[in-house]
Amino acid sequence: MMKARVIVTLKNGVLDPQGKAIEGALGGLGFDGIGAVRQGKVFDLVLSATDKAAAEAEVAQMCEKLLANTVIENYAIEIE
């Protein structure tokens, strides 16, 4: 059994209104010096695979097909 973490973030240049809203809210709470905020998603998966390379390839397929919109998002995979 392996654990995989997938982090999906917006590509550079893609507008992130949610991040902008958080940036504004942090400023409103009195936090200074916030340059930029971008929000993304994280997925924690438990896999029954035992081979690390095979697990990573499978998770990459999941990202391409479901977890990330590769037109506007990047994904990073960590296997534990």
Shortest reach from residue 71's CB to its own copies, in Å? 19
Q: How many CB atoms lie within 10 A of CB 52?
A: 12
Q: Which residues bind its own copies (CB under 8 A)?
A: 1, 7, 9, 19, 22, 25-26, 29, 31-49, 58, 61-62, 65-67
CA distances from 67 to 16, 19, 45, 59 (A): 18, 20, 11, 9
Q: Return the DSSP state at 1.
A: -
Question: Do the Cβ atoms of 73 and 15 come closer than 8 Å?
Answer: no
Question: Do the Cβ atoms of 9 and 38 come closer than 8 Å?
Answer: yes
Shortest reach from residue 43's CB to its own copies, in Å? 6
Shortest reach from residue 13's CB to its own copies, in Å? 14
